[in-house]
Amino acid sequence: MIAATLSVGFLPLVDAAPLIVAHEMGFAAEESIAIELRRAPSWSSVRDMLSFGRVEAAHMLSPVPVAAALGLGGTGTPLSAVSVLSANGDVIGVSNELAARMREGGHDFAFNDARAAGAALITHAARPLRLGVPFPFSMHAELLYYWLSALGLPAPQSVDIRTVPPSLMADALEAGEIDAFCVGEPWGSMAVENGVGTLLLPGNAIWRFSPEKVLAVRSDWADAEPELMGRLIRAVWRAGRWLAEPGSPMLAAELLSRSQYLDLPPEILDRALTGRLVISPQGEERTVPGFVEFHHNAATFPWRSQAEWIGLQLAARTGLDRATAARSAASVFRSDIYRAALAPTRAELPGASAKREGALDAPTAVPGASGHLTLGPDSFFDGRIFEPSQS
Amino acid sequence: MIAATLSVGFLPLVDAAPLIVAHEMGFAAEESIAIELRRAPSWSSVRDMLSFGRVEAAHMLSPVPVAAALGLGGTGTPLSAVSVLSANGDVIGVSNELAARMREGGHDFAFNDARAAGAALITHAARPLRLGVPFPFSMHAELLYYWLSALGLPAPQSVDIRTVPPSLMADALEAGEIDAFCVGEPWGSMAVENGVGTLLLPGNAIWRFSPEKVLAVRSDWADAEPELMGRLIRAVWRAGRWLAEPGSPMLAAELLSRSQYLDLPPEILDRALTGRLVISPQGEERTVPGFVEFHHNAATFPWRSQAEWIGLQLAARTGLDRATAARSAASVFRSDIYRAALAPTRAELPGASAKREGALDAPTAVPGASGHLTLGPDSFFDGRIFEPSQS
Amino acid sequence: MTGHGFTSHRKLAVAGRMSAALSIIVVEPDRDRAMLIVDSLREAGEYEIHVISEPTGLARRIQALMPDVVLIDIESPSRDMLEELALASGPLERPVAMFVDRDDAGLTDAAIEAGVSAYVVDGMQPQRVKPIMDAAIARFRMFQRMRTELAETKRALEERKMIDRAKGMLMKARGVDEDEAYALLRKTAMDQGRRVAEVAAALVTAAGLLG
Amino acid sequence: MTGHGFTSHRKLAVAGRMSAALSIIVVEPDRDRAMLIVDSLREAGEYEIHVISEPTGLARRIQALMPDVVLIDIESPSRDMLEELALASGPLERPVAMFVDRDDAGLTDAAIEAGVSAYVVDGMQPQRVKPIMDAAIARFRMFQRMRTELAETKRALEERKMIDRAKGMLMKARGVDEDEAYALLRKTAMDQGRRVAEVAAALVTAAGLLG
């Protein structure tokens, strides 16, 4: 008995995997719902599909619903993040020309040292540095700003930020419209594969555990259909749990590669899913533990402190009141809904709904709703710790 | 609890699949036995391993235990065929040079007309026709004799038969030591793949349902260890049943391809397992229904009439008394042991233990031990029917 | 002949959608026991229950109702009856629990190989139906996941093999090398807006037909 | 503390081999019920039965005895207890049947996801143990076959991917085309007496290490 068919918007990215898997592997059917996946060409398009009610839920950049709550961008429709879909998963890449200058200057492309990579980029890039990001309100933009600003290049003020849909990032780099980018996989790898770029850093070299995509719904829909939403959250949670099993990434790459989803060779998708990236057209490989995380370390828990961090970054740039922004932002990540939805499952839920972001350098056991739960490292590259005001 | 480890000899052939699958897919373990597979280089070697007690059971040419019972070849150790392992599965191939002459003469290599193919072969081959078979006592030899003799080339009298181990058949053809061969797969396909031969006929174009390989044991071991033997028979039967499932051939090809078994690319093994053969180095394809059969149509039932047919062919060539030979031969195919072993399973067993060989032109329902059972076509290309005297 | 056919719970329309109440077909020849089972299930949760008294009507009712779960109570089946019932109930499409009073024929293996998610030798006891049904559902799901995973993995492997085979055919037919053969497949796929695997499969099939 | 530990049936040596009598570990705190269960099983077939009275010793006994089947009777487990027991019994290596008197916590899903082959909410009733055990064994085997098939299919796909990846690396490193890259892999494999997939895996791993 299918209770309902839910339309869900997504962008062709590796981190749409939990939604694609929930559908293809039957986790949605187990919850008596059908998921109808609608591919969109850009983030503004997905956001509008959701805001205007053309889809019930969406694969969404975590800062988008926060920005909407702060009155930035969007259509004024309040959105809620009822689950995180994935942590990490972005890559920063540079043009081959810039990469060559950085190599000449002695940079080793070790792919794990944000400080060294940032210093080399700042030293060797032309001014102003032209950076491509998929959307103004995105973890991509936040990571770049945090990183470059911490290293002495005040961003976004001193850089030229351009919005380029993920699938066009390689083209923009090739056309010389940008010097570098931060993008979700597989579009960084596609730039490498097409011979137009070299990868410089994974996103988690800047922030070890950033909430990358969320499952977003209209807040009024969340109020009206708590039961259906619970089914969707559980289906997606089971999909993420399946993705974390050792044998799953290979098969997930096959599912994602199909024409209605990413329509790219599975070999390219394997890179992000296994954390083994090819960083240059010469074929150099780098292994990145935790490159993208769908389940472990409570990856899908929507921490109010994550939303607050995002909200305060946005507030600082736009001059909004910090306390108001923190409050509004924190209310967007619905840990209450997530908890209620997962109560009937075997999910281990954290005892608190906010944490000091950046405080963990190593896997750490924390109190869970029943027993213990392990959280992974979530430190920032510069060691700063964010103390949330809300919880 | 593993009751025993049984050593089983085999030759690297596609029709060793039931034994390899019984081990790899855990059917042996389900019967609380372990199978230790020992690869042999030639049929005489497998026979001797079995006769001298170095293995408990073997993948064996169906005529070998019959010949032993008739006092032909072998070491005098009585052997029993406790199950058929596979029906059909051989191919007849010719050298490229001979194939070219046959093509010039108008033969179409349709791969399904034993009469036309035989006539073309007899017309265009040099005299004496030099034929490679894997062993003197083999279904390969019997099929060639039956076919050529029926078409007016008395065999073996008027042909030059040479024994060549299956894996060396392509080399013998390339070296010009033989003009044609009958061999089990994948060695016919390997001759094609190496560019040295063209396939002329599948074995089942001569006899639609011939018992090709049997599970052979020493008769005294069969008496001493009925329980263990039952376990082995059931494990192999389950493996055959699994092989007959639609999704299995592809995976079977992968298992068989491993270095300890056939050590050949799975793509070559797929051909026999799916009945889609590439018959010439030019890549021509032919589809052969029932090319090799591991389960359907009671393929593994050791019909006493099959053994008797083999025995009488051997007797006719060697001048043995027909009645004695028929009796001795029929006692080698142990339908009694097979029935007892499969009683606890869901196998549908035929009511009788002998049948008129060659009498069925189409799938036919026959009385089974409980309900009905379908037998497939088993006709000879020349329409003759063999009436067994024993049952 | 096919039973009382009463429905214990009507489908609820929620916001224009159907409710997700599990629909259950109960095959129970004993009318009194059927009532007790329905009552017991109703107490345990919100279900849409259809009772049929004779298994002969099962296949037709299943076609009509597409139930989420099938519970079959049958005294002491023969093997043929068991296999027929298992087949009719569609055990690969939904959880099926089979209850027998006695298993004289030792049919446990047959029942489980036929795909039933629960085979209970003790008859259908009203107070025990719910936990058995829950276990059957959980087991069916686990099995279904694995079957999906296996099917998808096989499909992926099959596609790769198909591509390799098509490449081999092109290499022979056009005298090109492997790279060129793949480029040709990819170009055809792009031109036709299809996947490389689809183009490869079409090529291999066509060759088989022409063969 | 870990129970009576009696063995109802000694292993028989048959022609230098062990008998294939199924060995069963029964976890049953109630000594009287344990006796009844052992008697009931003995009547039904030839088994080697070990009874332990407390689940705390289970993991150790399983290591020592490597039983074919584990039957666990436990009144009303908490989720933690259930998962711990399931883990200790090794439900992916052998059939495990778990009997609970009451399932207050609704742990059916958890038990089945943990891999137990039977989860029975009615306690361990001596006269019903045998058919439940048979069903658990049949189900375990079916599941095991599918797991094997899935693992082998994944392995085959993985190997192909590895070969493709190694080919790609060679093409880049040596500037050769796909055919030549494969020929190089095959030659290395033949020289080393290894499979192409193994050589490819070694190459890919080495590149990862060097990377």
pLDDT digit string (tens) for A208-226? 999 999 999 999 999 999 9
| Percent of chain B with pLDDT strictly greater than 70 | 99
Domain that holds residue B109: 90-209
Query: pLDDT band for position C20 (50/70/90)?
Result: low
Q: Is B218 in the same domain as B204?
A: no
pLDDT at A391: 53
pLDDT at D8: 34
Q: Is A221 in the same domain as A310?
A: yes
Q: Does D44 touch chain C (CB under 8 A)?
A: no
What value does the mean pLDDT of chain D take?
A: 83
Q: What is the mean pLDDT of residues A379-387?
A: 97
**Is B359 a domain residue?**
no
Q: How many beta-carbon pairs below 8 A join chains B and D?
A: 54
CB pair distance less than 8 Å for A267 and D165: yes
CB pair distance less than 8 Å for D135 and C153: no
pLDDT at C10: 31
CB pair distance less than 8 Å for A250 and D157: yes
How many CB atoms are located within 10 Å of the residue D7 CB? Answer: 13
Q: Is B242 in the same domain as B123?
A: no
Range scoring the smallest mean pLDDT among A373-382, D112-121, D150-159, D183-192: D183-192
Q: Is B343 in the same domain as B214?
A: yes
| pLDDT higher than 50, residue B22 | yes
**∠C108-C111-C112 over CA atoms, to 5°?**
85
pLDDT at A143: 98
Range scoring the smallest mean pLDDT among B187-196, B239-248, C84-93: C84-93
User: Which residues from B are below 8 Å from D197, CB to CB?
Assistant: none
**Is B386 a domain residue?**
no
pLDDT at C14: 34
* Segment of A309-313, C7-11, D14-18, D27-31 carrying the highest mean pLDDT: A309-313
Residues of A with CB under 8 A from a CB of D: 247, 250-251, 266-267, 270, 276, 282-287, 346, 370-371
| pLDDT higher than 80, residue C205 | no
Domain termination site, one of B310, B327, B347 = B347
pLDDT at C6: 36
Output C65 or C4, whichever has higher pLDDT. Answer: C65
Query: pLDDT band for position C174 (50/70/90)?
Result: confident
On the CB side of B284, how many CA atoms lie within 13 Å of its CA? 12
DSSP type of residue A176: T
| pLDDT higher than 90, residue D170 | no
Left if phi > 0, otherwise alpha if psi is -120 to 50, otherwise beta: which for A252?
A: alpha
Q: How far apart are CA B142 and CA B124, in angstroms?
A: 22
Find chains touching chain D: ≥3 CB pairs under 8 Å.
Answer: A, B, C
What value does the mean pLDDT of chain B take?
A: 95
Q: CA-based diameter of chain B, in Å?
A: 63
Q: Is B217 in the same domain as B242?
A: yes
Q: What is the mean pLDDT of residues A287-313?
A: 97
* Cβ atoms B148, B122 nearer than 8 A: yes
Nearest Cα of chain C lies from the Cα of A340 at a distance, in angstroms, of 18
CB pair distance less than 8 Å for C156 and A251: yes
For the stretch A101-141, pLDDT in tens is: 999 999 999 999 999 999 999 999 998 999 999 999 999 99
pLDDT at D19: 53
Q: Is B80 in the same domain as B214?
A: yes
Query: pLDDT band for position D164 (50/70/90)?
Result: confident
C172: buried, middle or exposed (CB in 10 Å: 19+, 13-18, 0-12)? middle
| pLDDT higher than 50, residue C16 | no
Give the pair of three-digit tokens for residue B321.
């008394």
Pick from A94, A279, A120: nearest CA to A180: A94
* Segment of B232-236, B257-261, D101-105, D144-148 carrying the highest mean pLDDT: B232-236
| pLDDT higher than 50, residue D2 | no
For residue A306, give Cα distances in angstroms to A310, A378, A387, B242: 6, 11, 10, 52
pLDDT at C211: 43
pLDDT at D3: 37
Q: Does C117 touch chain A (CB under 8 A)?
A: no
| pLDDT higher than 90, residue D83 | no
User: Which residues from D are below 8 Å from A251, CB to CB?
Assistant: 154
Q: Does C44 touch chain D (CB under 8 A)?
A: no
Q: What is the mean pLDDT of residues B27-35?
A: 94
Domains by residue range for chain C, with CATH? 8-148 (3.40.190), 151-210 (1.10.10.10)
pLDDT at B153: 94
Q: CA-based diameter of chain C, in Å?
A: 77
Q: How far apart are CA D144 and CA A46, in angstroms?
A: 43
Q: Does D139 touch chain C (CB under 8 A)?
A: yes
| pLDDT higher than 50, residue C7 | no
**Is A127 a domain residue?**
yes
Number of domains in chain B: 2
Query: pLDDT band for position D20 (50/70/90)?
Result: low
Q: CA-based diameter of chain A, in Å?
A: 63
Q: How far apart are CA A235 and CA A237, in angstroms?
A: 5
Query: B276 to chain C: nearest residue by CA?
Result: C208
- The 3-class secondary structure across chain B, one letter per residue, is CCCEEEEEEECCCHHHHHHHHHHHCCHHHHCCEEEEEEECCCHHHHHHHHHCCCCCEEEEECHHHHHHHCCCCCCCCCEEEEEEEEEECEEEEEEHHHHHHHHHCCCCCCCCCHHHHHHHHHHHCCCCEEEEECCCCCHHHHHHHHHHHHCCCCCCCCEEEEECCHHHHHHHHHCCCCCEEEEECCHHHHHHHCCCEEEEEEHHHCECCCEEEEEEEEHHHHHHCHHHHHHHHHHHHHHHHHHCCCCHHHHHHHHHCCCCCCCCCHHHHHHHHHCEEECCCCCCEEECCCCEECCCCCCCCCCHHHHHHHHHHHHHHHCCCHHHHHHHHHCCECHHHHHHHHCCCCCCCECCCCCCECCCCCCEEEEECCCEEEECCCCECCCCCECCCCC
Q: Is B204 in the same domain as B232?
A: no
Q: Does C22 touch chain A (CB under 8 A)?
A: yes
Q: Is B216 in the same domain as B342?
A: yes
Pick from A12, A96, A87: nearest CA to A279: A96
Rg value, chain B, Cα: 19
Query: D152 to chain A: nearest residue by CA?
Result: A247
Q: How far apart are CA A300 and CA A342, in angstroms?
A: 11
CATH classification at residue A36: 3.40.190.10
pLDDT at B233: 98
Domain termination site, one of A146, A175, A209 = A209
Q: How far apart are CA B108 and CA B330, in angstroms?
A: 39
Range scoring the smallest mean pLDDT among A138-152, B173-187, B336-350: B336-350
Bridge partner list, B79: B218
For the stretch B246-294, pLDDT in tens is: 989 999 999 999 989 999 989 999 999 999 999 999 889 999 999 999 9
**Is B353 a domain residue?**
no
Q: What is the mean pLDDT of residues A255-281?
A: 94
Give the pair of three-digit tokens for residue B246.
């639609």
Give the pair of three-digit tokens for residue B148.
């050529």
Q: Is A314 in the same domain as A186?
A: no
A114: buried, middle or exposed (CB in 10 Å: 19+, 13-18, 0-12)? buried
**Is B320 a domain residue?**
yes
Query: pLDDT band for position D209 (50/70/90)?
Result: low
Q: How far apart are CA A173 and CA A178, in angstroms?
A: 5
Pick from A223, A228, A226: nearest CA to A34: A228
**Is A380 a domain residue?**
no
Nearest Cα of chain D lies from the Cα of C73 at a distance, in angstroms, of 16
* Cβ atoms B82, B233 nearer than 8 A: yes
Find chains touching chain C: ≥3 CB pairs under 8 Å.
Answer: A, B, D
What value does the mean pLDDT of chain A take?
A: 95
Give the pair of three-digit tokens for residue D51.
């009874």
**Is A166 a domain residue?**
yes
- Hey, which residues 190-209 in chain C have their CB within 8 Å of chain B? 207-208
* Cβ atoms C158, C195 nearer than 8 A: no
Nearest Cα of chain D lies from the Cα of B122 at a distance, in angstroms, of 40
Give residue A170's identity as a one-letter amino acid code.
A
CB pair distance less than 8 Å for C128 and D121: yes
pLDDT at B261: 96
Bridge partner list, B91: B183, B202
Range scoring the smallest mean pLDDT among A54-63, A101-110, A284-293, D16-25: D16-25
**Continuous segment of H or E residues that includes residue A107:** none
Query: pLDDT band for position C175 (50/70/90)?
Result: confident
For the stretch B219-236, pLDDT in tens is: 999 999 999 999 999 999
Q: What is the mean pLDDT of residues C85-110?
A: 88
| Percent of chain A with pLDDT strictly greater than 70 | 99
Query: pLDDT band for position C164 (50/70/90)?
Result: confident
For the stretch B76-88, pLDDT in tens is: 899 999 999 999 9
pLDDT at B347: 87
Q: Is A199 in the same domain as A227?
A: no
**Is A67 a domain residue?**
yes
| pLDDT higher than 80, residue A339 | yes
Q: Is A321 in the same domain as A194?
A: no
Q: How far apart are CA A345 and CA B228, in angstroms?
A: 46
Q: Is A216 in the same domain as A202?
A: no
pLDDT at B216: 98
